[in-house]
Structures are given as structure tokens and as C-alpha cells.
Structure 1
Amino acid sequence: MNNNNENIYEIIEKEEIYKLKEIKSILEEEEKEKIIKFAIQKKVSKEIIELLISKGININLKDEKERNLLHISIINKSQIEIIEYFISKGISINSKDKKTKTPFHYACQYNSLEVIKYLVEKGIDINSKTIHNETALHFACKNNSSLEVIQYLIEKGIDINAKTKSNETILHFACKKNSSLEVIKYLIEKEIDINAKTIHNETILHFACKKNSLEVIKYLIEKGVDINSKTNFNQTILHLACHKNSLEVIKYLIEKGVDIDSKTKENKTILHLACQKNSLEVIKYLIEKGVYINSKTNFNETVLHYACQKNSVEVIKYLIEKDVDINAKTNENKTILHLACQNNSSLEVIKYLIEKGVDINAKTNFNETVLHYACKNNSLEVIKYLVEKGININEKSYTNQTPLHYACQNNSSLEVIKYLVEKGIDINSKTIDQETILHYICENNSSLEVIKYLVEKGVDINAKTNQNQTILHFACKYITSLEVIQYLIEKGIDINAKTNQNQTVLHFACQNQNNSSLEIIQYLIEKGVDINAKTNQNETALHFACQYITSLKIIEYLIEKGVDINAKTNKNQIALHLACQNQNNSSLEIIKYLISKGVDINAKTNQNETVLHYASLHLACQYKPELEVIEYLIEKGIDINAKTNQNETALHFACLYKTKIEVIQYLIEKGINIHARTKRNQTALHFACLYNISFDVIKYLIEKGMDVNAKTTRNETVLHFTCQYSTSLEVIQYLISKGANINAKTNSNETTLHSACQHNLSFEIIQYLVEQGISVNSKTYQNETALHIAFHHNPSIEVIEYLIEKGVDINSKANQNYTLLHIACKNHSSIEVIEYLIEKGIDINEKSKQDQTALHIACENNNPIEVIRLLIDEGIDINAKTSWNENALHIACQYNNSSFEVIKYLIEKGMNINEKTSRNETILHLICQYNPSLEVIKYLIEKGIDINSKTIENQTVLHIVCQKNSPLEIIKYLVENGIDINAKTNYDQTALHIACQYNSSLEVIKYLVEKGMDINEKTNQNESIFHFVCQYNPSIETIQYLIEKGIDINEKTTQNQTALTYCLPV
């Protein structure tokens, strides 16, 4: 570029104007963008910027985020004269980037009052919004701008009540970003709604508690913000304060009356969160205040489970002293000892738990012992202690992994592995995939020292997985050291072994992207591995190398050694296809080399989709959109207009993958058919609009004569695609100015307004389309108005109010008879939105085709209790039933995340707890089936629910909890409260049959037997529980126990099968 061969960046940085003047032009487009950005970042003088523009840098240049030079200069806090210069050169002050941020948003983001004032004086749109509906004031508050900036914006008339798509006000942003109390006070004095909630039901106080600012929290509470408000996840401000671990804030909130017993949707108490944060001081305070210490989450985790993940012996001791249940198990049957070992707790913690009586041999649902977890964490000290305490060293998980597998899988030290081997662990044990510990070692790139030790100890070097992979296959793919490969081959491993896919070790080595892969490949070929061996898919080593490897040297070596360069896979792909697909920096080198070696450029795939050179061009546009790759392929004679089997050209691909405009211009200049259509009748312009490519590309394609009203086979125009996926009003206005039909409808009768309401929900786009005369009540063939569609995507209140004000029929029904209220409740709309719909007169008791009211939908979709209360307070029929005879209480109990609070509230409102569905299920059946919480079960039984009620299959709740593998404590509680232990289903199955069928623990089976259940009871197929155990849960411990209890092991079913039949391999 420079005759004196001097670096232009140095010239710019030093502002050597005379040297810059000597440069004739800056040729490369990519370099132009880098240079002008560099100049702006270095805050050079206006004169330097002017000189660079005069050297051929496009004043309208945009980066990958569609930020122009005005955006970039404001981001870099350029002098005001630079900003004035870019505006004087025609860059619009209201120009928008990809996220529709204007220069004004950036000025507020970077707290530049001088620039803000200048832009306002120039007439910038002060209330312009981003794709997320953020105004410049949101940005000012989000980035801790000074009070002076915020005051100025408000004085100039910016909308202080504007909300983002997430329903966040500027006050949410100020509290979220820990703005000064001074700013927050000023905003509240301006009468912003202090109780406004986000779509997640978060108040400003929730955000303040996340930031731990006691000063702000006190002020907000004094101003009347609701202290017991809950988020959609049922979090109170106290949950958030405990998560932040600030005792000072926690004390203040409790003194102010925040509910200390409130639980999140996962049933976490504040004590769970405090234990998660490991602060003994906070934990002690909460327990002193009366927080229930044995509460369990939805996953059956106690506070002790949480504490044992944090390795604090003081916290653990304190909780155990306070009588937290030390043997409680999670839903996965993990004890506190499992979690302590899983989280690498100290030996002191492990010893203490075992001394306190935690079962050392307890197993998870996956049959993992605490030794498995200790081996995963490479803790020799803990491993030794557990082995000394008598833990079974050869216990296997459900995937047949021993603790040694876990150790080898997690790169444990040789010291750990030696200890386990010396203690007698089975070194040739295999997983269900038939992988030995040596497979694991090679997969995890362990040292030669470890491999040698295991081989010397007698691990089978030729063992194969169920895919027929040897350890040499694993080593070639993962190991970085040639020494390991050499050692294994010297030890006699079969070098020509093939997998079930017919892959040799050379295929695996050609997937290894380590620096040593060339020398590994060379060594294997020298040792006689067949270089032209093919997989079941007919892939050679060259196919793998071109797809995965970054080194040209490997490709050259394989070809020099005689690999067939034109070999085809089952899809008729040759190596060149895969090289064009490889996203590494050396792919052009590889492509050039393959073509220079005579690769057949006329090869076709088995579907005749393309000739090879065409496929290469498409893949280049997809994976390597640099102009140089595409230029090279076209220079070599690639058919530029070849099409895929979907009739896509390279231009479609270029638009699909957001290729730079220079590539698109080059393809068109080289004669590509600009009007080509796919099988779905899509033009390249459809692709450009569908995938939100840059405005410059869209303008260029239209200038080149592309039809703005071209329709797909679904009758979609480019305007439908743009309204649905673009965030730019500018693009939409441009298309309409070029004659795009705003009233065009798709085959589904969707207008462009329907499309605009589907994804982006940009208020300014929706407003613009309506102002252009598009009907707000037009319906799709699913009977949906634009507002129905908007509600599926959580629209802002601003969009909803606007469309209703414009006359949309609020009681219009979509298919399934869903009203807007049904859809709002289904998609977790905020309480503000629900209130607005009710205020506007929506029929609150309207039913869907399945007879569901909005209350059913709200309970089904876990809406917060505030929404449930609102619907009931507004007169919704609380006892309405669906076509399956389910009331709202049935629905609430059926969905796992429904809160206990909702269930209690509905019962308090007078709902009948013994009401049954069409399948004769009570809410107790549903709770036990979908959300088996002991707390809820106790509550329902105390409320008088019929514990022995049966479904139409004659199942009691005991059958159901045994089927769902519920904890023993639930089963005990039901039995103690009088459930009929011997009740039978329609198939004559007792609860004991169900427990044995659904893998319940031996602990549960023993309890039921001890309670007098007949172990020889039979089903209507004459199956005993022994048949069930052998068929579904063949645990040696369970089988031994039943035999000791005298079960008849020779009993036969009606099909004449004994239990042994089930144990035999198929």
C-alpha cells in the first residue's frame, strides 16, 4: 500500500499527515474497515479522518453489527467535530444498527452529555427503541449514567414510562445496575410506577436485592414497594438476599416482615440458598428465626445436601447438631455423603459424616457409590479412607463402570490408579459399551506411564468396545504423544483392526487435531496400515483428513503415499467437498492443492445434486465466505449457476449465510442467475430478508432488478419475511417504497402484520404497518388475528394497547376456541397484561373446545399465584371443569412446578378436594404421580382427602408412589395414615408388585414386607413379585432377600414362565 513500505497504522497513530497523503489508495475492503476503525479508536484528528475517506474508504461503511462510522465514533468517544463531520457527509443521525440502536442510544450508553445534547439539537428521534424496546433512557440507567444525563433526557421529553420487551422500566434498569440512590430517588419523584413488574414478575426491589444495596432497599420499602411480591419462579426478595449472602440485608428484610417460610418453584427455602452460599453466620440467624430446617426441594434435597456441596465442616456440624436428617436422599437417591464426595470435600468432612452414621454403601439410582464420586475427583486421601472403612471396591454403576473407570475417565493420578489396583479392583472389568479402563485412559490422553503400568498389570490390550474399537483406535484419535502409539504397537496390538463402521486406526488418526498427528499418521502408514481402506460409508483417510485436519502437510503426505484422491463416499462426495466444508484457516491452501493434483471437478453426488465444483462453491459460500476462496473456485471453471436438488444456487447460499456484500457483488458480476428460484420458489432476496442480511445487500439485489413481490410456493413475499425476522423499519419502508405489496397474504392467510407479530414484535414496525392501512382484524386460516399471534411471543403492553385501540376484536377466538386470555395465560403474560385484557372487557369465563377456562390454562402453565388470584377475584368460575372432568385444582396438582401456595389457595377458596376426574383420580393421585411432595401430601390428608380412593384402574395412591419410585418417607406416611396396604389394581397387582416392577429400592420392598404384605401374592397373570424383580430389577441383594423370606422361586405364570426365564439372555 505504501511506496516506502511503512505501516499505515503507525502513520495514522503518529498523525503523519504528509506520509498519509503519499498513499494513493487503500485497496482491500477488509483493510479499509480495519483502518478507519483503528483511526477512530485512536481518536485522531478530523483531518486524518477526511484524508482516509478521500483514499477510498466508503463513508457508508458498516461493520458486522451494521454499525456505521457515526455509531463507531460515538462508541469510541470521538471529539464532537468528528461526529459533526460524519453527519455532514450524510450519515443519518437516526441510522440503526442490527439491534436498531441509534447513535443516541450509544451516546447515552457511553454517558456523553455533550454528544447527547448535540444529537438532540440536530433533531434525533429521542424515543427511538431497539429491538428489545429499550429507549436511550434505558441505556443511560443501564450504564450508570450521571444524574445530569438522566435529568437532561427527561427534561427533553423522553418517555419515562417506556418498557422493554421484558417489561422492564428505567427504574428496573437503575436498580439492576446499582445506580446511585440519588438517581433512583429522582426517578421515583418523577412518578414512575414503583410496583411495575417484568414479564418474570420481578419488581425493582428484586433487582435491588440482587445488588445488595441496603440503602436503596430501605428507601424502596419506605416508598411502599411490595416486600412479599414473588417472581414467576416464586422467589421473594429474601431468597435473592440470601443468594447474595448479606446478613445485614437479610436481618432488615425479616424485621420488615418478609415471609421467611416462602419457597421457590423448586421448593427451595431461604435456608437452602444460605447453605448454598455457605455462610454459617447467616444460617445460624435464619434457624434462630424459625426457618424449618428439614424442608426439601422438588428434588428432595435438604439444606444438608446443599451444605455438603460446599465443604464447610463448621456448617455441616452445626446443621447436624440441629437435627437435620443425615440419611435423607435426593430424587436420584444421593445421600449427603455422595454430594460431599462429588464436590471434592475434605477428608475431615467425609470422616465426620461417616462417624455420624451416614451409610457408606448407599447407592444412587445409577448404582453409584461414594467411592465412584471420590475417584471422579482424584482424591487419594478420601479414596483410602473409604476403602479402609470397607466400601465395596468393585461395585458397578448401572453402566457397569467401576470406581477405576471413573478414576481413568477423569485423568486421575498414577498414584490413585495404583492404589485401587493394589486393593484388588478388577482391572479388566468392562462397561455396558464394553470399554475397559484402558479405553478410558486413551480417550482422556493420559500419560504413557499410566498406560505402561496398566498393561504390565495385565489389562487386555486387544479388548474391543461394542463398536469393535480397540484402545489403539482411541489412542490415535485422542492421544498427543507418538510414544504411546509406538508402545501399543510394540506390545502387539492389532494395527489393522476395524470398527463396526470399518474404520481403521488411520481413519481415527485423521480426526486427531493435535500437533503430533502428522508423525502419528506417518508412523501408522510405515507400519503397514492400508492407506486406501474404506469405511462402511466408503470414506478413506483422505476424506477424514480433509474434514477435520488443519494441516496441509498431512493432506500432501497422504496423497504422496498414494491415497485415491477421487475416491467417493456412499454420497458420492470426494475429498474436495469436505475440504470446502472445513472451517480452518488453511482450507484455501488445501483446496488449491487438491485441484492442482487433478481432483475430478466433474464428479456428481449420488442424487445428482451438483457436480463437484458446484458443490465446492456452495460449501465455500456456506463455510468460507472469503472472496479469495470463491474467486479461486470460479477461476478454475466452476459452474456458477449449478443448482442443488432444492434448486439453490451459490447466490442463495451467500444470502443464507450472511456473506459480505463483496461476495454477492462478485457472484452477480460473474454472471450468476440473480432470478433463480428454489423448489419452494424462493429467490435470493427471500433468503436475504429471511436471514436478516444487511440492508446494503437487500438494496443491491433490488437495484439489480430482483422482484420485490416474488412469492414462494406458500405465497410469502419478501415483505412477509422481513416483517417476521427483521428489526429494521428502514428496510420495510424501503421495500414498500419499491412497490412491495403490503396487503399480500400467504397460503395461510397471513398478512405482513401477522408476520410482524410473530417474532420481533417491534412496536414501530407494527405501528407503521397499521398506519399504512393493514387490517388489524384480518384472520389466518387458524382464525388468529395479529394480536393472537403476538400473544404467543409475549408482546409488550405497548403493542397490546395499540392494537386494541386500533380496533382489534378483543373477544375474537382462534382455533380450539382460544381467546387472547387463554393464550396470555399459556405464555406467562405479566399480571399487568392480564389485568388490561379484563379491564377491556374480555370474556373471562370463555371456554376452549376442551372446555378449558383461562384458570385451567394458568394452572397448567404454572402462572404465578397473583394471576390465579386476579382471575378468581374477577369472577372466573373456580369450579369449571374440562371435558376430562378436571377442575383447576386437578390441573395445578398435575404440573410439576405448580406451587404448594397455589394448591392451598384454591382449597381455601372452597374447591372440593375429593372431586374426581373422568379417570376417577383425586388430586392426591395427581400429586403422587406428578409431584410427590410429602409436605403437600400431609396437607391434603390433614384436610380430609380420601386416602383410599381408587382410579378406574383401581390404583390407590400407594400404587402410584411405588410406581414413581418415591422416597420411603412418603410410603411410610401413607401406610401410617391408614392406606389399604393390600389393595389390588384391575390386574391384581399389589403395591409390592409395583415397587418391584419400577425399580424401587430394597429399603422400600423390605418396609412393605415388614408391614405384612404377602410376598407370594399373584397378579391375574399368576406373576409373583419374584417374577417382577427378575424381569425388571434383577438386583442380587433383592433376590437374596426374597429367597430368605421364603418366596416360591419355582412359581409359574399363566404363560408357564418361572422367574428364571426372565433372567436368561434373549
Structure 2
Amino acid sequence: MDIVRLLVEIYAVDIAENDSSGECALFHVARGYHWWHVHQALPYLLDMGADISMRNEKGQTPLHMALQGGRRVPSPYNWDAAKMLVQRGADVNAVDNKGQSCLSYARHDADMIKFLIEHGAVVVVDSIFAAIDSRNAEVLRALLSGDLDPNTRRDKLPLETDDGSQNKTIEPHEEYPLYHAASKLWPHYSPSEKSYQDATKAMEIVQVLLDHGADPFAKFLKVVIPVERKSDFSAAINSSAQVPEGYVECTLLHEVLLNGYIADTFLEFPGLDVHHRDAKGRTLLHMVCESTRGPDHILGSHAKAANLLEEHVHSFQRLLSLGADLTAQDNFGHNVLHYMLVGEKEIEPIVRAKFFAYTLQNAPKLLNQGNCHGETPLHYAMIRAVERHEVGEAQMLLDAGADPMIISKRGDTMLHKLGKGIAVAGLRTFFKALAECGIDINARNNRGETALFSFYDHSKTLEDSWILEEVHRPTGQHVKPLLEKLGGDFFVRDNKGRGLLHAAARGDVERFQELLEMGLDPMMEDDAQQTAIDVAAACGNRDILELFEKKK
């Protein structure tokens, strides 16, 4: 300290001189690395006229520095520095260039939060998000003890975090504190002591927000992918307000369930409205079935002592116990069975069978119930079979009495849905069994297409398909003989005059070539005077075009 006095009083060193970061000596002592920095140098510099409101290139004041403390280096005296700066007149409501307040910087210490509020700090939403990020329920309670509405949303970007929890499809100004808190409750496949602790803290944060009036059914906008924008059912989406192009209205808890976040705190919250529907008419039960985690999440499984649970209650069962309607349909006519058969969820067959059995025992009418397109759960099971190269769910539904003869309003039979995947041996066998049950392989849908179009109008076989088990490995070499045996018409044309070669021109050259060998004409024009070669050229399918270049 004597050296500091010598430099200032004898050698007239400018105490306001900045370093390369735009910080003078006051910033460095405010961090509180050493006792003498705070209790000797800090008051001395202030007495000598150091500007307590000075800012560095990031817009931070010395008070920000003190509250930030030693994020990288231990800083045992930073709280003392912060209190001294406040008592000497520092602006407790100063914000940095990112809009982060002093309360946000103090998010790790409830006592400091209270101290700042007592000295005039105004609670703003950025400090709420900061407390959530720090998983500090005590700080959050202190912040919410004032008049700030827990449903307030931010209008500026939060401090960058490295936990990867920021949801990129939800813009910062649309995100509610409650959703931000819930998004930190992602289940760990290999839980550790830290993950157990983090989950417990995050659930307490959610509970604090709910206790202070956070709305689990608050609505917000989410960016959607282009495919979703072209929905055929926009009239069935009942948004609460005008939704801009490229967005969809979401309901907070529905989105939490959809994303597979641990929602135990919500499902145990007194008075939860289990019948609440989002803009698409989906109930909470629909959402746990559609969830990436599926309906089999066990309440309490996030806890370290999960193996000691006396009873395993799934989220599906919990909602039913609260009065959820098992037979509810959304605005598009989907029921819970439809929702169990969509998405990337991983559920053990025995567990899925359990949910199917319960649903069909208590609501048997759902088995053959169609959505607005007339597609039953079995249609969805066929689509899932193609995506996952296995027919387990479809077989479960058939065993339960699902009607394979039902045709959708688009005219699609079960063979139309399954046809895309019959390059896979297991699906091919299932396709054969369905055809032998009486489904017409040459039945046309509303576009005039038969099930053969589904197979030939398909993308190229994946080059890395060799890594799959043989039964799941796509190969078209056994398909043509099967389709011939089943009486498939290879010279069929759809409502626009397109033949199978037109369909195959977008896919594998092998499938295209086998059709040529059967005598199909590549120069046959459709109603738009386009040949299969024209289609291949428009798609840039060089493999098929080279067949004709070689002939020249």
C-alpha cells in the first residue's frame, strides 16, 4: 500500500489511467483478490478522486467487477468490495453492454441480492434468468420477493453460458423464466453425483417459480422448420393471437413434455389443469406420448435414491390419476396411440406393449380410430416400421385387433405406407403377409398410385447400410420377384400419366434398370410430356443418365 501512495502522491501517477481493457486501478482492486486491495487501496483510490462510475470496454463498472468476483481466480474479498462501493455511492442499477444488471452479477449470493435491493437495486428479468442459470433457489426467492412478475420475459440476450441448454428454436425474448428453468432438467443417461445435485437444484428452481405464480400454460412463439409451415390443417390450429409467418404458438408445459425434460414438479403441482390444450388441441397426455422420452418416464427417477422408490409411477399414469381423458383427440383427430407411434422415442417393446394394452383395454375404440386423414394408429405403425426397419409396434396392433383393411381418406392402404421399406427383409415379409390377408396390391390412392410407386419412388440406398444387421439391411434384389408373385402391375400409370420409371428416376439406378429390363419404356411421356429421363435430369441423377450416355 505504501508503494501505491508513493506512486500517486510523489510521482503523480494518474489513478484514472486505463490498461488495454479500458480499466483503471479501481477495477483491479474492486475484484477483491487481496485483503489490502479492498480495505486499504479501494477506499484510498476513492478518496483520491477515482471515478466510481467509470466503465471498461464491456460497459462494466467497478461494482460489476466486485460482484463478478473471481470467476477464474479465487476472490475472497469481492463481497466486501461490493458493499464498500455501494456505500460510497456506486450505481446499483448500472447495466453492462449486454444489458446485465448488478443483480445478475450477484446471482450466486442471496445475501448480496438482498443488500443490493435494500440499497435501491430494481429487480429486472435478466437477474431472474441469471439466478436460474446459477441454480440458486435462495437467490431466486430473494429476487421474487419484490414486485417482479415471474412471467416477465427478457428483451435482451442473456450472458453466454456453456451448459448447452439454450434452446435455439426459441428466441430469447420469447422464453419464459419457467421454461428456461425446465430446460435444464434434461435426463442423463449416465447420471453422476453432480447430475443428481443439478437436477435437485433445478427442480427446486421450477418449484420456486410455480409457487410465485409462474404460469405453466404461458404461450410463446417458436421458430418452425419450412415443412411445418406448409401444414394442410392451419385452420385446426387455434392460436390465441396472430402468429407471424415462420412461427408456431406453443404452450409452456406442453413444450416441456414434448422435449422430454423432467417434468415431475409440474405433474405434482396442486391444481394442475390436465385438460389444458395447446393451439393444436393437444392435451398433456398427448404430449407425454409424443415426447422424445415417451410415456414411460418414472416420476422420481432423476433422484439418486431412485432405486429405492416404493412404487414406479409413470408420467402417463400420473396424468390419468389426475383425471386426464384417455380418449381425447387433438384438432387433427390424433389420439394417444397415434402419438405413441411418432418421433424418435426409445421404448422397450415390453413397456410399449404395457401402454398399448392399458389403452386398448380402457378405450378400445382408439385402435381403429382415424385422424382427419382417416389414418389409424396402424397406418402410423407402418410409417414407423419403415423409419426403424422393424414391425414390432404394427404387429402389436394387429394382434390387438387392428383392421389392416382400412383405407385412409387419401386412398392409402397399409401397403402404400409399408411399401417404402420393403427393401428390408423383415418389412418385406410383413408386406407379403398383409397382401395375402386380402389387401389389393394394385389398389390406387387418390393420386392414382399403387403400392409399387411407394417402393420405386424412394431415395437411393444408403452407402453405409452395410453396418446394419442383415435382416435390416436395405436391398431391392428380392423385391421385384415378390411384387410379381403378388400380382403387382408394373405398367401402371398414376393420375398424371406417370409410370414406375418416372418414380424410379429419382432413386436407385438398380431399381430403374430392372424396370427397363421388364420392358418399361423410358421415353414414355406423362401428361406434362415429361419422360423418365427428363425426371432423372431434373433431379440430377447422374447414375441413371449415364445408362443412356453409354448406349450412345
Q: Which TM-score applies when normalising by structure 2?
A: 0.57
Q: Give, in angstroms, the shift of residue 616 of structure 1.
A: 1.2
Q: Give, in angstroms, the shift of residue 738 of structure 1.
A: 2.5
SS at match of 1:563: coil
Q: Give, in angstroms, the shift of residue 645 of structure 1.
A: 0.7
Unaligned stretches of 5+ residues in structure 1: 1-402, 406-413, 415-425, 430-434, 498-503, 841-873, 875-1066
Alignment of structure 1 residues 196-345 onto 2, 5 Å: none
How far apart, in 2, do the equivalents of 1:473 and 1:791 lie?
Answer: 63
Question: 1:708, 1:735 within 8 Å by CA — same for their partners in 2?
Answer: yes
Is it true that 1:704 corresponds to 2:377 in the alignment?
no
Partner residue of 2:531 out of 819, 823, 830: 819
Is it true that 1:471 corresponds to 2:100 in the alignment?
yes
1:203 — aligned with what? Answer: none
Question: 1:791, 1:823 within 8 Å by CA — same for their partners in 2?
Answer: yes
Is it true that 1:563 corresponds to 2:213 in the alignment?
yes
How far apart, in 1, do the equivalents of 2:266 and 2:372 lie?
Answer: 30
Is it true that 1:750 corresponds to 2:462 in the alignment?
no
The structure whose RCO (Cα within 8 Å, separation 6+) is larger is 2
Partner residue of 2:286 out of 613, 618, 627: 618
Alignment of structure 1 residues 606-755 onto 2, 5 Å: 609-610=281-282, 615-623=283-291, 624-627=293-296, 628-657=314-343, 660=349, 661-662=352-353, 663-672=355-364, 673-692=366-385, 694-725=390-421, 727=424, 728-755=427-454
1:599 — aligned with what? Answer: 272
Letter in 1 for 2:395: K
Q: Give, in angstroms, the shift of residue 755 of structure 1.
A: 0.8
How far apart, in 1, do the equivalents of 2:115 and 2:499 lie?
Answer: 69
Letter in 2 for 1:769: L
* Aligned CA distance change for structure 1 residues 506 and 779 (closer, same or farther; 3 Å): farther
Is it true that 1:530 corresponds to 2:148 in the alignment?
yes
How far apart, in 2, do the equivalents of 1:690 and 1:534 lie?
Answer: 42
How far apart, in 1, do the equivalents of 2:435 and 2:120 lie?
Answer: 70
Q: Give, in angstroms, the shift of residue 629 of structure 1.
A: 1.8
Per-residue CA deviation, residues 125-150 of structure 1 (Å, 9 max, x unaligned), is xxxxxxxxxxxxxxxxxxxxxxxxxx
Alignment of structure 1 residues 141-180 onto 2, 5 Å: none
Per-residue CA deviation, residues 949-990 of structure 1 (Å, 9 max, x unaligned), is xxxxxxxxxxxxxxxxxxxxxxxxxxxxxxxxxxxxxxxxxx
Letter in 2 for 1:665: A
Q: Give, in angstroms, the shift of residue 556 of structure 1.
A: 2.9
* Aligned CA distance change for structure 1 residues 731 and 507 (closer, same or farther; 3 Å): farther
Q: Give, in angstroms, the shift of residue 736 of structure 1.
A: 1.4
Question: 1:566, 1:600 within 8 Å by CA — same for their partners in 2?
Answer: no
How far apart, in 1, do the equivalents of 2:107 and 2:458 lie?
Answer: 47
Partner residue of 1:784 out of 498, 503, 508: 498
* Aligned CA distance change for structure 1 residues 579 and 825 (closer, same or farther; 3 Å): closer
* Aligned CA distance change for structure 1 residues 487 and 725 (closer, same or farther; 3 Å): farther
How far apart, in 2, do the equivalents of 1:638 and 1:721 lie?
Answer: 31
Q: Give, in angstroms, the shift of residue 644 of structure 1.
A: 0.7
How far apart, in 2, do the equivalents of 1:767 and 1:473 lie?
Answer: 74
Question: 2:332, 2:372 within 8 Å by CA — same for their partners in 1?
Answer: yes
Per-residue CA deviation, residues 769-796 of structure 1 (Å, 9 max, x unaligned), is 2442222232233433222222212x04
Q: Give, in angstroms, the shift of residue 481 of structure 1.
A: 4.5
Q: Give, in angstroms, the shift of residue 532 of structure 1.
A: 4.0
Letter in 1 for 2:418: T
How far apart, in 2, do the equivalents of 1:676 and 1:621 lie?
Answer: 17
1:964 — aligned with what? Answer: none
Is it true that 1:553 corresponds to 2:211 in the alignment?
no
Letter in 2 for 1:598: G
1:861 — aligned with what? Answer: none
How far apart, in 1, do the equivalents of 2:525 and 2:115 lie?
Answer: 71
Question: 2:498, 2:525 within 8 Å by CA — same for their partners in 1?
Answer: yes
* Aligned CA distance change for structure 1 residues 724 and 511 (closer, same or farther; 3 Å): farther
1:577 — aligned with what? Answer: 254
Q: Give, in angstroms, the shift of residue 650 of structure 1.
A: 0.8
Q: How many residues align?
A: 381
Question: 1:511, 1:548 within 8 Å by CA — same for their partners in 2?
Answer: no
Question: 2:525, 2:531 within 8 Å by CA — same for their partners in 1?
Answer: yes
Letter in 2 for 1:701: L
* Aligned CA distance change for structure 1 residues 828 and 608 (closer, same or farther; 3 Å): closer
Question: 1:688, 1:697 within 8 Å by CA — same for their partners in 2?
Answer: yes
1:294 — aligned with what? Answer: none
Letter in 1 for 2:372: K
Per-residue CA deviation, residues 988-1013 of structure 1 (Å, 9 max, x unaligned), is xxxxxxxxxxxxxxxxxxxxxxxxxx
Per-residue CA deviation, residues 891-922 of structure 1 (Å, 9 max, x unaligned), is xxxxxxxxxxxxxxxxxxxxxxxxxxxxxxxx
Question: 1:776, 1:786 within 8 Å by CA — same for their partners in 2?
Answer: yes
Question: 1:427, 1:437 within 8 Å by CA — same for their partners in 2?
Answer: yes
Q: Give, in angstroms, the shift of residue 620 of structure 1.
A: 0.6
How far apart, in 2, do the equivalents of 1:637 and 1:654 lie?
Answer: 19
Q: Give, in angstroms, the shift of residue 664 of structure 1.
A: 2.4
Letter in 2 for 1:496: V
Is it true that 1:773 corresponds to 2:487 in the alignment?
yes
How far apart, in 2, do the equivalents of 1:490 and 1:782 lie?
Answer: 72
Q: Give, in angstroms, the shift of residue 705 of structure 1.
A: 2.6
Alignment of structure 1 residues 664-1063 onto 2, 5 Å: 664-672=356-364, 673-692=366-385, 694-725=390-421, 727=424, 728-759=427-458, 762-763=475-476, 764-793=478-507, 795-797=508-510, 799-814=511-526, 817-830=529-542, 833-838=544-549, 874=552
Q: Give, in angstroms, the shift of residue 539 of structure 1.
A: 8.1
How far apart, in 2, do the equivalents of 1:809 and 1:495 lie?
Answer: 77
* Aligned CA distance change for structure 1 residues 824 and 578 (closer, same or farther; 3 Å): closer
How far apart, in 2, do the equivalents of 1:814 and 1:460 lie?
Answer: 74
Q: Give, in angstroms, the shift of residue 813 of structure 1.
A: 2.7
2:123 — aligned with what? Answer: 496
How far apart, in 2, do the equivalents of 1:783 and 1:473 lie?
Answer: 70
Question: 2:103, 2:116 within 8 Å by CA — same for their partners in 1?
Answer: no
Per-residue CA deviation, residues 1004-1042 of structure 1 (Å, 9 max, x unaligned), is xxxxxxxxxxxxxxxxxxxxxxxxxxxxxxxxxxxxxxx
Letter in 1 for 2:494: T
SS at match of 1:691: helix
SS at match of 1:656: coil
Question: 1:655, 1:688 within 8 Å by CA — same for their partners in 2?
Answer: yes
Q: Give, in angstroms, the shift of residue 648 of structure 1.
A: 0.7
Letter in 1 for 2:254: H
How far apart, in 1, do the equivalents of 2:418 and 2:127 lie?
Answer: 49
* Aligned CA distance change for structure 1 residues 486 and 707 (closer, same or farther; 3 Å): same
Per-residue CA deviation, residues 838-892 of structure 1 (Å, 9 max, x unaligned), is 566xxxxxxxxxxxxxxxxxxxxxxxxxxxxxxxxx3xxxxxxxxxxxxxxxxxx
2:27 — aligned with what? Answer: none
Q: Give, in angstroms, the shift of residue 742 of structure 1.
A: 0.8
Question: 1:783, 1:815 within 8 Å by CA — same for their partners in 2?
Answer: yes
Per-residue CA deviation, residues 26-56 of structure 1 (Å, 9 max, x unaligned), is xxxxxxxxxxxxxxxxxxxxxxxxxxxxxxx
* Aligned CA distance change for structure 1 residues 580 and 830 (closer, same or farther; 3 Å): closer
CA RMSD of aligned residues (A): 4.4
How far apart, in 2, do the equivalents of 1:555 and 1:601 lie?
Answer: 18
How far apart, in 2, do the equivalents of 1:667 and 1:652 lie?
Answer: 12
* Aligned CA distance change for structure 1 residues 760 and 707 (closer, same or farther; 3 Å): farther
Letter in 2 for 1:811: M
How far apart, in 2, do the equivalents of 1:816 and 1:428 lie?
Answer: 68
How far apart, in 1, do the equivalents of 2:72 and 2:329 lie?
Answer: 55
Question: 1:548, 1:582 within 8 Å by CA — same for their partners in 2?
Answer: no
